[in-house]
Structure 1
Amino acid sequence: MEKIQRISNTNLEINFQEVEDALTKQEAFEESNRCLYCYDAPCIKACPTGIDIPTFIKKIASGNLLGSAKTIMAANPVGASCSRVCPTEELCEGACVLNHSTKPIMIGNLQRYATDWAIKNEQTLFNPGAPNGKSVAVVGGGPAGLSTSRELARLGYKVTIYEASEKAGGLNTYGIVSFRLPQSISYWEVEQVEKLNVTIKTNTKVGKDVTVNQLLQNYDCLVLAVGMAQVPGLGIEGENLEGVYDAIEFVKETKSGRLSKDFIGKRAVVIGAGNTAIDGATCSVRLGAENVKILYRRTEEEMTAYDFEYEFAKQDGVEFRWLTAPKRIIGDETGRVTGIECIKMKLGEPDQDGRRRPHPIKGSEHVLPVDAVIKAIGQTRHLELIEALELKHDSGVVQVNKETYQTSNPKVYACGDVVFGKGIGDAMVVTAAQQGKLAAYSIHKQFTAVGTAP
């Protein structure tokens, strides 16, 4: 990997360019011809969206890139993004039969090659279905909401997406670092949905700019796909000091082109050890931070970040302090962060999620000098909206029928991060996309079965 340029202000944008090069035409041709095109291919079964992987790879080998892109995107409405951010070594590539002899097919890279071709050549892959007279409101324009909307539009529904942010795309647009997923990729996927006559109302927050009752009254059905909210507070002294950041907002700033030069030569710590924490840490490195540490109250075995994200952070020079929890954030007389007091932890019995519960070790307090603290300890839920819809939930995890994604209100369906948690599902972009598809099919089945709205 190219060495990060840490000092010069002019190099900040360079640092946020994609870290992995795309396959060349020759590389894609050679790699696609390694595929065995297995019957009953295990890679298909390992893909949450069920992409026909041997077929799209065979089309690359034969030069049919449009057909390849259609095969990918038909199964996964955010397939261009997923080619970059899916944990392929745990999914499709992990299931490849060639793991037992040589090395797996580079499925993610080939998927990127085909979808990049479609983006570069400005392809419109699908057409809207004949109007069926039914309308659906989708709250949230992230992967789950886009997936639901795309499938419903192809089935003839009039779909309107209500998105609180300036742009649709959700996590793919704002929450995944640019050097893994450029915004242009997410924008193209949004455009593919818009071309199906889907209306996207951005800067429109449900509950503020439009009421829940208006949506329930004006549409035949509603899909809740709002994802997660902001990072919660640490609950410690000093959180309001200058130099303390919400990891989600921090990454969003870098993706929106507002690169901060405040990190050049500075020391940063990130609290947490999930994928968002890794993003916060690697962004800090690219913004010029001289030293970046991740503090985690458990051990490496309990961290929730993907293995490849962990390895990527280590390659960037990020330090990991295991069994370390923040106790208070220290500031100077100007209100600026100067340090963080931590305490060492030890693991006890497993808690509800199966991970061993950490306990503080008395007398192990110590102070780390830092200039910035990034909070990445998970995200809160959209409780106000969920309760306005009067949906059954468990601490913000909306309860749905696992087959249909219908909520306790038969007119409301839910999918994506809003239903992840409490042991239900995996919070991956590809899983959210699949749930969106399934929710759309369930809605269509409900309408066509009874001829009326749910």
Structure 2
Amino acid sequence: MSDSKKDPDMSSHRLPNDEYLKNFSDIKPPLSQYEAHIEANRCLYCEDAPCISACPTGINIPSFIQKIADKNTDGAATTILDSNILGGSCARVCPTEILCEGVCVRNKSPEFSPVKIGRLQRFALDTYQPDQHPYQRSPATGRTIAVVGAGPAGLACAHKLSRLGHNVTIFDKQAKAGGLNEYGIAQYKMVDNFAQKEVDFIMALGGIQLKTQQALGEQLQLDSLRNEFDAVFLGVGLSNSKALGLEQTDIHGLESSLDFISELRQSDDLSQITIGNKIVVIGAGNTAIDIACQSKRLGAEQVTLVYRRGESHMPATSKELEFAKQNSVKIITWARPSSLKVINNQLVAIQFEKTALDTSNNLIGTESFFELPADTVYKAIGQSFLFNCFAGSEPPELINGRIDINEQFQTSLNNVWAGGDCVVLGEDLTVQAVEHGKQAADSIHHHLIWSKGNGDA
């Protein structure tokens, strides 16, 4: 939330300090050793475990759970990390209810209670304290790779390439590495500076240099990186907030969702964050839920989430939606924003048009309107790719508004690869981005070693 958009006269509900601590503490506390042992023994260790196939990174879930049951937590941790070097953050933010736990055989009759795979994964990694780094680098290859973007895709790619003996430089536009894990996740989902601890663990391998506050298209140029490095990996994510189509200049109260979440995550004093009394969130993805619930937990008097379709169409998972309701977030469906009401540059209300589906299942307006009082409206209708990052350079080909790649994660440029949310492949999930980074690293390595062996350096 930029200072220029804040209204200094906006009323804010200030809470006692202990209430802030309670509201933003870990919403999924770690399992105790006893709880983890009991839960691990619920696993049937299926031979053709569907949970493995449901995990984008292919973690051998029955294997690590059995090791927990056998009280071999170090072995469980390395089994996870071998497949997912960001397994700790994924254990906290993955929508396990639609991935591994969603296909768990215990999620069927008569139990309907899957093994708590995510929480067991967190237990294994939280209790893992090796005497030395569990991974070592292969002999140096002399090859250099630029990784643009220090989010999950970039970090996973850099880690794998470093293990393979390459020298990697990570560039990121932010002041810290971590991407959405650092700047875009609700604070109560990832507490105790965990995102930076995970970054530190990856960097401790060696062979990786981090350069922050280096934005592609500004301080960095893709053409220059291609000339300076043997290969480039783009893990730049989606940094452009989609517009409502109602934006006006100099309005106090119309805010970007990710800016607000970032401010929350970087704050040392939640009591100093400006929060309105009547908040409306436009959208129904997990980010919209995060905005709505955190606003409520900061002391907002009334928070309403509005979505253009019905609950069954919402991108957010059923657990996220239930969490919003538990946080007293009012949910209105089948409505889309039509106009803003502004007095003296301050937003005071937003008008919506009721929507419906026509006979072809296309969304249409009904010409029936209603108004909600609002001193703050957060746009959470998704992110798009920011094309100007290629300003001044030859760009890779795009498809559906994102970077086009082949099966090996190669772009149309001969020494440029890409992965994560900036490409059209799979879901926009942390765990999916990690897998993209891994696979792209293998592809880059194969290309560099093959070209070296054939004299095409």
Fold match by TM threshold 0.5: yes
- Tell me the equivalent position of 2:222: 212
User: Counterpart amino acid of 1:250?
Assistant: F
Equivalent of 2:321 in 291, 298, 310: 310
Q: Structure 2 CA distance, aligned partners of 1:129 and 1:63?
A: 31
Equivalent of 2:364 in 359, 366, 376: 359
- Tell me the equivalent position of 1:139: 148
Q: Describe how 1:125-274 pairs up with structure 2 within 5 A.
A: 125-182=134-191, 184-197=193-206, 198-236=208-246, 238=248, 240-257=250-267, 259=270, 266-274=277-285
Q: Does 1:18 align with 2:15?
A: no
| Cα 1:385–1:263 shift into 2, 3 Å | closer
- Tell me the equivalent position of 1:353: none
Unaligned runs of 5+ in 2: 1-12
Q: Does 1:396 align with 2:407?
A: no
- Tell me the equivalent position of 1:117: 127
Per-residue Cα deviation, 1:89-116 (whole angstroms, up to 9, x for no partner): 2111122222235332111010010111
SS of 1:30's partner is helix
- Kept after mapping to 2: 8 A contact 1:9/1:261: no
Unaligned runs of 5+ in 1: 1-5, 351-355
- Kept after mapping to 2: 8 A contact 1:136/1:160: yes
Identity of counterpart residues, as a percentage? 40
Q: Structure 1 CA distance, aligned partners of 2:132 and 2:336?
A: 49
- Tell me the equivalent position of 2:384: 380
Q: Does 1:73 align with 2:81?
A: yes
Per-residue Cα deviation, 1:249-299 (whole angstroms, up to 9, x for no partner): 010111001636566671100011111111111111111111110111111
TM-score of the superposed pair, with normalisation by structure 2: 0.91
Deviation of 1:203 (Å):
1.1
Per-residue Cα deviation, 1:288-344 (whole angstroms, up to 9, x for no partner): 1111101111111221112211111111111111111112222222x2221112211
User: Counterpart amino acid of 1:92?
Assistant: C
Q: Structure 1 CA distance, aligned partners of 2:120 and 2:94?
A: 13
- Tell me the equivalent position of 2:4: none
Q: Structure 2 CA distance, aligned partners of 1:149 and 1:27?
A: 35
Q: Does 1:89 align with 2:97?
A: yes
- Kept after mapping to 2: 8 A contact 1:7/1:265: no
SS of 1:179's partner is helix
Deviation of 1:453 (Å):
6.5
| Cα 1:232–1:114 shift into 2, 3 Å | same
| Cα 1:219–1:291 shift into 2, 3 Å | same
SS of 2:362's partner is strand
SS of 2:377's partner is strand
- Kept after mapping to 1: 8 A contact 2:339/2:351: yes
Higher mean displacement: 383-392 or 39-48: 383-392
| Cα 1:150–1:407 shift into 2, 3 Å | same
Per-residue Cα deviation, 1:156-196 (whole angstroms, up to 9, x for no partner): 11011000001111011110101112262211221122112
- Tell me the equivalent position of 1:44: 52
Q: Structure 1 CA distance, aligned partners of 2:46 and 2:191?
A: 33
- Kept after mapping to 1: 8 A contact 2:222/2:390: no
| Cα 1:331–1:262 shift into 2, 3 Å | farther
- The size of the alignment, in residue pairs, is 437
| Cα 1:264–1:158 shift into 2, 3 Å | closer
- Kept after mapping to 2: 8 A contact 1:238/1:330: no
- Tell me the equivalent position of 2:420: 416
Q: Structure 2 CA distance, aligned partners of 1:390 and 1:298?
A: 36
- Tell me the equivalent position of 1:8: 15
CA RMSD in angstroms, aligned pairs only:
2.0
- Kept after mapping to 1: 8 A contact 2:216/2:390: no
